[in-house]
Structure 1
Amino acid sequence: MDGSADPFDIGFASFYLNRTNRSGVLNGGPIGGMDQTGNYKIDARFNKEALAERVRVIGLHARRISVTNTDGIKVIRKYARRSSTFIYADPPYFDKAGSLYLNSFRDDDHAKLADCLNGYCDAKWVLTYDNVPQVQELYSSRRSSLFSLNYSAHRVVKAQEIMVFSDSVEVPPGLAAGLANGSPE
């Protein structure tokens, strides 16, 4: 951003594209396709009332939310030791990252994130990833749980992801079972 664009306009454009593009991927193309002949139309995930309510609830917590354009590892290092901080890390996944994200990770980026988070094992954090062997290797000292969800970027596919927990996060016994029934938004 060169400073000339209004941050509110940029934010709204990103929000709109997230809600109207396949799987929320900004460059994923519109839900229903350019000709709107798909099973779902561009407004399938753009329920104005429900989205307005979500924004209203987020607004209630605005004083407690900080948005930056800072590297995630720097954010983790800055906030991880604070007792009031809970970090949810959702890095670009390993498989198909290049087609899903505007910015994907190289293998060494995944390793740097793992080194950082593993270095804060006593802080409160949770991480989700695609279920691939590399994640199990990078976080072999941490507890993890598999959960199922449906992807619908091009076709509906049931997939498994992995959730990794820092040592200080208390994991309720039924968490994995509860997540298995959830669906991503």
Structure 2
Amino acid sequence: MPKKLLPRNEPLSPLRYPGGKARLAAYISGVIEENYLNGCTFYEPFAGGASVSLELLRLGFISSAVLIERDPLVYAFWWCVFNITDDLCAAVEACPVTMETWTQLQPTREVAYPADGRFTILQLGVAGLFYNRTNFSGILGAGPIGGEAQTSRYKIDCRFNKEKIVRQIRSVARFADRVRIYCDDAISFMRTNAEEIATGFAFVYVDPPYYQQGPKLYRHHYTDADHVALAQFLQTQGYPWLLSYDDHPRIRELYDGNTVQPIYLDYNVKSSRTARELAISNLMIPVPVYEGMPELLGIEVEA
């Protein structure tokens, strides 16, 4: 049965990400239902904004989530959300959203691991949130909204609504006893924990850096060799997994033989569908139905 994508409601995640996947959660819930995986442990090896995991927890389709994040600033933010919620919220409320703060936090972007020693986990977590909310498109390595001279009509604080962010943090923190968070490379984590994943009641959602635009969007982007390594690893795993990727010929080549379903995350009945992505899985996956569309006829799952 076709499954709907989420409507454009306020997201749970306080983080902004290019190609944010919150609206994909309802589609993935359909995959979970059709493959009798309700109540599974949901692994997200490229956590980022963790939108899918958080929505599935809220909707009640999964029992717990395991978030794996390579970027130390993003990892630190999530660690703070689930472990020192009050301290994080107080720090957010006290943080001046200015170019001076943006400049003062620059050394945190040089940190390679959370246990760097120069900064506390709270300082790193606040820096991760700050750059995510004040940089262009939420890209931690990008420049500030409005430029360093702040001459644009949009200023550095235009995406930093403290009241809303604190509300989102506290809303997400209620899942603390159902979420585990690790700072690790995605493939390394999946390889090290392969037995735990394979023998548990698990589902793995993999949202790697985009193939074509990844180097422009992510601090820890993938090379072609990395994409190949991910494909080769996943195709040796028997546990249920699903990928979301940009629609690129190289990705179709790497996953030839797997089930492939085109997805339009930005579908709008008043405009053309342009941002096409691929859902790829070792499971049978349903055809999506988009908000505002009564039905999609004549579209079949590619295999």
TM over 0.5: yes
Aligned mate of 1:177, from 290, 293, 297: 290
1:183 maps to what in 2?
none
1:159 maps to what in 2?
275
Offset of residue 114 of structure 1: 0.8
2:77 maps to what in 1?
none
Deviation digits for residues 123-155 of structure 1, max 9, x if unmatched? 2332222211111111122222223356xxxxx
1:57 maps to what in 2?
171
Aligned mate of 1:16, from 119, 126, 130: 130
- The answer as to 2:147 corresponding to 1:30 is no
Range 105-114 or range 43-52, more displaced: 43-52
1:133 maps to what in 2?
249
**Preserved CA contact (<8 Å) 2:261 2:285:** no
Identity %: 35
- The answer as to 2:224 corresponding to 1:107 is yes
In 2, distance between residues paired with 1:141 and 1:65? 33
Offset of residue 60 of structure 1: 1.5
In 1, distance between residues paired with 2:201 and 2:286? 20
SS at match of 1:68: strand
CA RMSD of aligned residues (A): 2.5
Offset of residue 172 of structure 1: 4.4
In 2, distance between residues paired with 1:82 and 1:20? 42
Comparing both chains, which one has the higher relative contact order based on Cα–Cα distances under 8 Å and sequence gaps of 6 or more? 2
SS at match of 1:129: strand
In 1, distance between residues paired with 2:215 and 2:171? 33
Cα distance, 1:37–1:147 mapped onto 2, change above 3 Å? farther
Query: Structure 1, unaligned stretches of length 5 or more?
Result: 151-157, 181-185
Deviation digits for residues 72-112 of structure 1, max 9, x if unmatched? 11222315325443322222222132222212222121111
Paired positions, count: 168
Structure index of larger Rg: 2
In 2, distance between residues paired with 1:50 and 1:142? 40
Deviation digits for residues 134-180 of structure 1, max 9, x if unmatched? 11111122222223356xxxxxxx5322222331xx6444x3535x9
2:70 maps to what in 1?
none
SS at match of 1:67: strand
SS at match of 1:128: strand
1:7 maps to what in 2?
121
For normalisation by structure 1, the TM-score amounts to 0.76
Q: After TM superposition, which residue ranges in structure 1, 4 or more long, deviate above 6 angstroms?
A: none
Query: Structure 2, unaligned stretches of length 5 or more?
Result: 1-112, 267-273, 294-303
